[in-house]
Structures are given as C-alpha cells and as structure tokens.
Amino acid sequence: MPAAAPSSTDADARYIHHGTADFRRTNLALFAAGFATFGLLYCVQPLMPEFSRHYGVSEAGAALSLSLTTGVLAFAMLFAGALSDAWGRKSLMVASLLSSAVLVLVTAMMPDWTALLVVRTLLGLTLSGLPAVAMTYLSEEMHVESIGLGMGLYISGSAVGGMGGRLITGVLADFFGWRIGVAVVAVIGIAAALIFWRMLPASRHFAAQPLRWRTVAGRFNGIFRDRGLPWLFVEGFLLLGAFVTVYNYLGYRLLAPPYNLSQAVVGLIFGIYLVGTFSSAWMGHLAGKLGRRKVLWTALALMLAGVALTAAQPLWLVMAGIVAVTFGFFGGHSIVSSWVGRRAGAAKAQAASVYLFCYYMGSSIAGASGGLFYAAHGWAGVALFVGVLALLGLLIALWLFRLPPLVDVATAPTPMSKGAMG
C-alpha cells in the first residue's frame, strides 16, 4: 500500500517557526554571520580620514577602500547563488566567513596603499558567499509568517556588525593605531564564523542542482518578467547608496571646524547603528502584518527627512538626522530584501543575487561619487546628492504601493506560478 502523502500540516511543520528552538538557533547563527560580514566589510569606513592623512589620498581616493570591496562583492554575488545551488547553502557561507576574516587580518599588515586596496578588492570576492545565500536560506527555510521577523533579525545582526566594526576601528585608531583596530575586528570575525558553523540548522528544503549555466541564465531572465522585482532591485541601489554616502563623509565633516571632534568620538557616533537593530526587526514584522507596500514608503520618507536635518548646523540636529536616516535605511532594507525572496518563487537564489548586486553597486557608485560632491560643495553637496537618491526611492515606494499584489515568478521556461502574494 503506498505511503500517504504528507499533509499540509506536516509540510508546514518542517519550516522554521517563530518561537521554536530552531528559530532561535537560526537567528543566533545568522545574527553572528551578519555581525561578521558587515563588521569586516565596513570596518574601514571611519578610517577614511586617517587613510587620507597617512597615505596622502583624497576623500574620494580613501573611499576606494570600501567602494572597491562593494563593487567586486556586487558582481561576485551574481554567481554566489548559483554556486550555492550546486555546493549547498551552509558550506558556502561558512567558507565565505572564515576566508573573509583571514583577509581582513592580512589587511592590517599591508605596507602601502596599493597593497591594501588589492586585499580589500579580494575581500569583496570572498564575502560574496554569504549575503545572497543567507537571504536564500531564510526564504527557503522560514515559515511565511516568520520570514519577515527572521530577515529583520538577520539584518539586526548586520546593523550591530556594521556598528561594531566601525566603532572598534574608530576608537582603537585614536589610541593604538588603525592596524590594531582592523586586526581586532578580524579576530572577532573568526569567532563569529565558528558560532555560525556550529549553530545554523542544516537545510531541509534544499536540493543540490548541477551547475548548468543555461538553466541559471533562464532563471535570471525569469525574474525580470515580474513587474515589481526590477523596481525592488533599484530600491536596493538607492537605499544603500544613500546610506553609505552619508556615513562615508560624516567623519570628514565632524573632524573639521566648527565641530573639531576627535577620531574616537566620531567612531562612537557609529553607535547610532543600534537604532537599526530595532528598526529592521520592527519594520520587517510590521510589514509582515500590514503588507510591505503599506510600510515601505514610510522608511524612505524618514530617510529623506533625516537627510534634510543633517544640512543644519547644530550638532544635535545633525545627529537627529543621522538617527532618522539609519532608522529608515535598516527598516527599508528589511522590507525590500524579504519582499524579493517572497516574490521570486524557485528563482530565490538568483533574485537575491541580483538584488544584492544592485544594493552593493549603490554603495560602490554612490559612495565614491559622494566624495566628488563633498570636495566641490562640502556637506551641502553630499546632502543634496543623498536627498535626490532618497527622493527617487520614495517615488518608487509610492509607485509600488499603487500596484495590486503581484504573484511570485517561477523559473524559466515554466510559466509564472500563482503563489504567495507580494
């Protein structure tokens, strides 16, 4: 007698639900992964004024220490999802974290500017194995009612890591030199990678697929048939482009008159990232209840208001503006990234790769371009540039709000499925 097919309740139970031990283990592991990834990536950001002084490079030149990494990261992530389809999600993410932490440790030993940029470029390649695959893992393994919170908690780890990496290097550079700060971040990254390896549950809904590039190309083509996904990709470009530009040049402004803050104090300002640990989880959960279309526009509106506040002179208004930009960015990224996973159907890995390609190209292109505006017009030029990016993002969010809910896309050549609504 043939075995009975699993009931919908049994199938539903195989997904990770909020409140279970697997949910806690998954979020601890991905919190550690987000912490390591973004600490390793952004630890150089508060050091840019120090790089300008030590190596004699311009503001835009110092920004290459981040822009080169994110540029290579963006391109490499287009292929990371396909590799994880063949090699497995967890194994690729573990290799990515450990190798990246080692490269950051090597960065602290580089004797000149060119060598440092070479290692930072290689870092973009090794880091690519985690962000896109982590989004795919969550989309595959989390229950639909828990994915918004799960993605938000992962991004919270990213926020803490981004803050911790910046804060550690910014403060330690003032007392022990930037090389010690970078080395400490690398050691923390190795420890976080080991936690991730031990805690992340094995995939239950992953089946390895042979690496056939024609099939991969078909899936990439399929995701662009969706009316909403391309706009979400652009939204990712604008979100990170605006956010990174603000933080890239904030240090230059606050170290200069009339503020004349120390490097250590400027490093402590990155503690504002803690706002992101709340906003990403809260807005992600809120979007899961009310609908992403109804919540996304508020995040972009808040970023735009925050950019306007940073143009003021009083320090407390500048800081209030930075808080608003940070809150809006992390909330918006949480909503958009989970939305991409929900819409992409069987092409989740490819959709996540394209989204993160656009996301990090925003960091690379806008982050470097902002230096030209700062050199020409000071902070007013940066605020105007970022304000335009945030306004475009708000207009896209409002356009998405007016669309009816769209269905998932399936892989080519299969016709579009009529699955979960976005």
**In the chain, what are the domains?**
20-202+215-402 (1.20.1250.20)
Assess whether pLDDT exceeds 80 at residue 146: no
Report how far apart the first and last C-alpha atoms of the chain are (Å, whole number). Answer: 41
Residue 220 confidence (pLDDT)? 66
Q: How far apart are CA 222 and CA 364, in angstroms?
A: 27
Which of 218-227, 228-237, 273-282, 288-297 has the highest average model confidence (pLDDT)?
Answer: 228-237
Residue 102 confidence (pLDDT)? 95
Q: How far apart are CA 230 and CA 235, in angstroms?
A: 9
Question: What one-character DSSP code corresponds to residue 143?
Answer: -
User: Which class for 14: exposed (0-12), middle (13-18), buried (19 or more C-beta within 10 A)?
Assistant: exposed
Assess whether pLDDT exceeds 80 at residue 408: no
pLDDT band for 417, please (50, 70, 90 cuts): very low
Residues near 134 by Cβ (< 8 Å), separated by ≥ 6? 30, 33, 34, 93, 154
Residue 75 confidence (pLDDT)? 86
374-385 mean pLDDT: 95
Residue 205 confidence (pLDDT)? 65
Q: How far apart are CA 338 and CA 352, in angstroms?
A: 9
> Residue 16 forms beta bridges with which residues?
142
Assess whether pLDDT exceeds 90 at residue 326: yes
Q: How far apart are CA 258 and CA 269, in angstroms?
A: 17
33-60 mean pLDDT: 88
Assess whether pLDDT exceeds 70 at residue 420: no
* Listed residue (291, 56, 33, 4) closest to 155, CA to CA: 33
Residues near 361 by Cβ (< 8 Å), separated by ≥ 6? 70, 71, 74, 237
What's the CA angle centered on 43, arms 39 and 47, to 5 degrees? 165
Assess whether pLDDT exceeds 90 at residue 235: yes
* Listed residue (415, 390, 407) closest to 303, CA to CA: 390
pLDDT band for 351, please (50, 70, 90 cuts): confident
Average pLDDT, whole number, for the chain? 82
Residue pLDDT, tens place only, 158-177: 777 777 888 888 888 888 88
Judged by average pLDDT, the poorest of 131-135, 236-240, 257-261, 326-330 is: 131-135
Residue 119 confidence (pLDDT)? 96
172-201 mean pLDDT: 90
